[in-house]
Chains A and B, each alone.
Chain A
Amino acid sequence: MDPAEVEFLAEKEMVKIIPNFSLDKIYLIGGDLGPFNPGLPVEVPVWLALNLKQRQKCRIVPPEWMDTDKLEDIREQERKLDTFTPIPSLYYMELTKLLLNHAADNIPKADEIRTLVKDIWDTRVAKLRLSADSFISQQEAHAQLDNLTLMEINTTRSFLLDSLNYMYKLRSNLQPGRSQDY
């Protein structure tokens, strides 16, 4: 999957904005949004929040978890445990990237947050590599992967799945009674 497609899915997540304009309810196909009143917080999907922000029509309220104290706790947990800790958002990496790239002025301690999220990501991806490695070497047939996010799965998807498929092909070619190819 193209990482841009994972980001596309992340943009569906809802985020709070504080608009500086008035607008009636918008009846979108995917649901209603608004009404919008200056200074009154309202929830919109990230794709719209970013667009409004680009046009200087709103301020984005960072999600609750996008906070240095909370992220430090998560980082500590993640480093302490061998398993994947539950993460406050399935799209934590993409949302951090999107919001920090387009609305950094609305997010307190943006640089610290960027570093913390990067640390959490690195720790988790390292764990994922280890478990993928053991999955292959143990020739496992099933693994449970709770709390892994789509973007994390995506980092290992094609490598892991291709390896497993090649191994399967090699093994099944060893089976007797296969027809002869020219």
Chain B
Amino acid sequence: MADASELSGGEESQEELMTPAELIAKLEEAWLNEKFSPELLENKSELVECVMEQITHMEENLQRVKKGDVKASVHRMEIDRIRFVLSSYLRSRLQKIEKFFPHVLEKEKSRADGDPSFLSPEEFAFAKEYLANTEVYLRNVALKHMPPNLQSIDMLKAVPEPCLDSFVFLRVKERQENILVEPETDEQREYVVDLDEGSQHLMRYRTIAPLVASGAVQLI
């Protein structure tokens, strides 16, 4: 089993040497990004696994501590906090998978070999079952009783896509130059902005989506 120091698999090399504290910070970043981004972001299975291991390990240690110990209660409070972030993070992902399931699966299907997967293997299995379950349901309850040319529904058309043109709030972690801002109306012109480190902005998600993926900006 991997521990924090073995976190790898396409991640940057500095992340291979993450301390548990950095691991938790990464989880919190991923949580907020996932909460505020309109689309499903790349999965962070390794991060999830490492955090789970930290929690499990700590819980095992706590089993041996006698009840009422002050230290143990502090550890428990910390575990509660971490488990909340972890659950909330995974919930946000699952909600988006359910909301956009045909699109999420389509994206996974058209992914080139070697490109990172947006879904973890478990999420992928879940999404496939969700699609099949929903299709079976619609067919059995209504579609099969409809005229022959209307017995199927194109799920990709029927279920709304994530709106990448949504506005988001963000904080800049690494300075960026010449970010193109597209005009909102015909009378306006496009222009570029520089995003200084530490500055905060409101703009369309589509413009800065690659910066969320690379970790250069944090959604807030």
Residues facing B in A15-67 (CB within 8 A) are 21, 23, 26, 28-31, 33, 47-48, 51, 57
The residues of A that contact B201 with a CB separation of less than 8 Å are 142-145
A interface residues, tally (CB under 8 Å): 36
Distance to closest chain B CB from A147 (angstroms): 8
A101 CA to B63 CA in the complex, in Å? 34
Interface residues on B, range: 35 or more
The verdict on B8 contacting chain A, using a C-beta distance below 8 Å, is no
The verdict on B121 contacting chain A, using a C-beta distance below 8 Å, is no
Distance to closest chain A CB from B154 (angstroms): 12
Contact B181 A141 (CB under 8 A): yes
The residues of A that contact B77 with a CB separation of less than 8 Å are 47-48, 51
A28 CA to B62 CA in the complex, in Å? 12
The verdict on B84 contacting chain A, using a C-beta distance below 8 Å, is yes
15 pairs, CB–CB < 8 Å, chain A vs chain B: A23-B70, A23-B71, A29-B23, A29-B58, A51-B73, A51-B74, A51-B77, A135-B202, A142-B181, A142-B193, A144-B199, A145-B200, A153-B169, A161-B168, A165-B163
Residues of B in contact with A (beta carbons under 8 Å apart): 20-21, 23-24, 28, 35-36, 54-55, 58, 70-71, 73-75, 77-79, 81-82, 84, 88, 163, 165-169, 181-185, 188, 193, 198-204, 220
